[in-house]
Amino acid sequence: MTSIPVLTPSIAATSLEAQIGNTPLIGFRRVTAHLPPHVQIFAKAEWHNPGGSVKDRAALNIIREAEASGQLTPNKIILDSTSGNTGIAYAMLGAAKGYRVKLFLPENASPERMKILRAYGVDLVFTDPLEGSDGAIEAVRALAAREPARYFYANQYNNPANWRAHYKTTGVEIWQQTQGLVTHFVAGLGTSGTLMGTGRRLRDYNPAVQIIALQPDLAFHGLEGLKHMPTAIKPGIYDETFADRQLSISTEAAYNMGRRLAREEGYLVGISAAAAMAGALQIAEALAEQGQSGLIVTLFPDNAYKYLSESFWTED
């Protein structure tokens, strides 16, 4: 009888967790063509993370720190509120690590995100769309308080593991990728983890780096994933005195920039990414007008694939 050899190939496999972070820094040609050479804009393309967004970073660190502290054990269910991307990251990592996941999200979250969450088998609870992310936060807090032994409440808006994810990774990557030449960092405000963690790391490297926070200009807006801080439940990890400057971006300006990035640069980005680019361009144009130089870095949280049901893409 012929024996069958056991194959032991030398294959270097990469784990799911190892694929999170180290995203590329991308540049622009047409949208920034009017800027002088000494003013540049770059963006972190966070859709390269396996879950498709920057939220993979925070979710991974929240889970790792909770496991290390004993707050998250195999018998507990990961619980949180989300507008979509963090929930997808929890779902992906929960599936990979063997945790069940229960999420509260507004009923008007994009249908693409809902389908992704359902594909991962997440237990979904929908909240009043008129209450936005704040309604989901209040609902999940109530459940976590009722059944603390059953759930690990990840609490992304108040968990310092959120901003520490960006302190450990995003800020380090930006500093290395720009060879320490970054002068401005622009980030949208949702949980505020990206701004707070990345900003703290960049300031550790160089206190002169300007940190700019970006948010919608109105309480009622169409910038999914971003918060209008004056009228929202403020995240516990957010320090409103931290940023050097606050920028307000209109929904219309973000939608217009989203179309421009797609049609002029070939980058089909999410709504909050388009808002971030609109803000970065404002900073760049002001520097150019004042005759100053600058290397501005912003962050594109995700691409547009979860927002293609929105009608604004086909408008002129």
Which residues carry out catalysis? 55, 272
Strands 101-106 and 123-127 turn out to be parallel
Contacts 24+ apart (CB under 8 A), 231-237: 232/132, 232/133, 232/134, 233/134, 233/137, 233/138, 233/157, 235/157, 235/158, 235/191, 235/192, 235/193, 236/157, 236/158, 237/157, 237/158, 237/159, 237/160, 237/162, 237/163, 237/191, 237/192, 237/193, 237/196
CB 275 within 8 Å of CB 19: no
Which of 97, 87, 103, 104 minimizes the C-alpha distance to 67? Answer: 97
8 A C-beta contact, residue 180 and residue 206: yes
From CA 40, how far away is CA 186, in angstroms rounded?
13
